[in-house]
Structure formats: C-alpha cells, structure tokens
Amino acid sequence: MINRELNFRGNSPLLYLISTPIGNLDEFSPRAISVLNDIDYVAAEDTRNSGSLLNKFNIKKPFIMCHEHNEEEASTKIISLLKEGKSVAYMSDAGYPAISDPGERLVARCILEGIKVSCVNGSNAALCALVCSGLPTKHFYFYGFLPSKPSERRKELETLKNREDTMIFYEAPHRIDDTLKDMKNAFGGSRRASIGRELTKAYEEFIRGTFDELCEIDPETLKGEMVIVVDKAEATKKEYSEEDVANLLLENLKTMKSKDAIASVVKLTGMPKNAVYDIYLSIK
C-alpha cells in the first residue's frame, strides 16, 4: 500500500536524521541546532562523541545509544518513544547517518512502522571529496569501505575496474598504502584518482594524480581521514561482427533509403563507410 503524507503536516511521528560535521564544527547548521534544541531525545552512534558536540552548542538532551551492534534493539526503543509522541533525532559520529555509518536499519524500520523520516542536511565526506577531485561528477558510484581482507579487496576491485562512472571509496589511514597498490593493479597505473585528506580540517589536502604517481607517495605522509575518488574506465568499444552490421542495415532498410541506412550504421558502429557499404552490397 502506498504511503503518502507531508512530513511537516499532521501529528504522526517523525524521526530526524542529523548530519554532523566531518571536521569543522562551523559546518553544524543552524537548523541542526534548532531541531536538537526542540526534540526530546537524541539517539546517537556514540553518546560521548555526540555529547561533546552538543555541549559545544549548549544543548542538553537525554541520549539513546544506537550503534551497529545494537541497532535492532535500539530501533525498537526509538520507535516506541516516537509512537508515544516523543520526538527523536538520530546522529552518527560524523557526516550523514546511514552513509557507511549506522542508521539504515533504523530508517527502514521506521518506514515500515509508518513513521516519517526527515533529514537535516550538512557535511558528507564523499561529496566533499568528489566535487574537489576534478574528476567527472555527472555520474558517480559511492562504494564506501572496501573489504579489509586483501584477497577480498582485490577481488572486489576486479569487479569495479570497468565501471564507467567516477568511484568514491572511504579508507582508513593504516590501509591506504595497500589499497592504493591494489587499485593500481586493478585499474592500471595510468588511471587518475584524487585523495581528499582531512577534509574541512586545518590540514585539508587534495592529492591528484595517476595511480603510478600516488603509489610513490611516502605512506607516512598519508595520515588522518581519507576519501579516494577514482576516474571512470574508458568506455569499452563494442565490437560489431559482419552479421551484426548486416542485421542493423536490414533493420534500417525497412524504413530508410539505402544512403541513410548506411550513414546511420556508420554513425552507430564507428566503422569505415566503405566497410559498411561492402556489407550492404553483400545483402542487397
């Protein structure tokens, strides 16, 4: 059954998802502060972390712990509070909840229970790294964290090497060197990438280059939090057999004059005009 209700009309319960700063506290939005001041409970991935963030803004609220190991039972508690008419906001340690962070199961359960969900926007490491990478932004694929086990990571990278959209990965500093080397092996040394390091913080840095160049960097200089943005693979050219071309011509000839049918197949396949013409002669 379709579920349709305006978020800010009516009295049915609503869970707020709050994006928190990924480094620079000035990115905590006035709307986030206002919502947190208004609600009854703050559900948080790490109550100490979020407690000190809220302290900086003089916000005091009762906390509910909701992290990856207790998300199911914490969701039950949050949902029952929302159904009792209490207001709740959920925040993870940094950035958007549910993006490589807990929150996804909580949101899915709320929707199943008919509870509305609204997001207070703010910082996100992936988009911040993407827009400064200089790589194509029209189409992109967010991967998040690769498997930490080297054999699984390499297998996963193999499956991604032909993607024709920019790819975004999160990585921990102690694995960055191995991951860059594995990416070079899977994607090739000439593929371009950009590392966004310590985003929004005092030592923010973007390192842009090919994997050959990035793998030359002293890993000791790659500290802190990082996002790797990888250029898309070159479009793979489809190979057309003589039979494919003949079929395309026959299809076109149903509705086009021969000159137009040939021109259209040349354009589609990128094959030389005389080669397409020879195939046309063979089927005429």
Name the residues that contact ligand SAM, by CB under 6 A.
Answer: 22-23, 92, 94-96, 99-101, 124-126, 170-172, 196, 198-201, 225-227
Query: Shortest Cβ distance from residue 67 to ligand SAM (Å)?
Result: 11
Give the residue with the Cβ less far from ligand SAM, 17 or 245: 17
Give the residue with the Cβ less far from ligand SAM, 36 or 125: 125
At 220, give phi and psi (nearest 5°).
-60, -20
Residue nearest to ligand SAM (CB): 95
Query: Shortest Cβ distance from residue 195 to ligand SAM (Å)?
Result: 9
Give the residue with the Cβ less far from ligand SAM, 96 or 280: 96
CA angle (97, 52, 200) in 5-degree steps:
60
Give the residue with the Cβ less far from ligand SAM, 40 or 204: 204
Provide long-range contacts, Cβ within 8 A and 24+ apart, for 258-264.
258/284
CA distance 68 to 218: 34
Query: Shortest Cβ distance from residue 55 to ligand SAM (Å)?
Result: 21
H-run or E-run covering 118: strand 116-120
Phi-psi label, residue 65: left if phi above 0, alpha if psi -120 to 50, beta otherwise:
beta
CA distance 162 to 144: 18
Give the residue with the Cβ less far from ligand SAM, 117 or 265: 117
Query: Can you read off the two tokens belonging to residue 140?
Result: 């992109």
